[in-house]
Amino acid sequence: MEQVPGACREPGPPLSDPASLERLGLTLSQEYDRYFSDATRYFMCLDQTRADFFQVVKQHGIEYRKLLQR
Q: What are the pLDDT digits (tens) for 19-46?
A: 999 999 999 999 999 999 999 999 999 9
- What percentage of the chain exceeds 70 in pLDDT? 100
- Number of domains the chain is built from: 1
Q: Is residue 44 part of a domain?
A: yes
Distance CA 17, CA 49 (A): 34
User: Cα 57 to chain center, whole Å?
Assistant: 20
pLDDT at residue 70, rounded to an integer: 87
Residue 51 lies in a domain: yes
Q: How many CB atoms lie within 10 A of CB 19?
A: 8
Domain hosting residue 34, numbered range:
18-68
> What pTM was computed for the model?
0.82
**For residue 1, is pLDDT > 90?**
no
Q: Where are the alpha helices (DSSP H) in the chain?
A: 18-24, 28-68
What average pLDDT score do residues 2-19 get?
Answer: 94
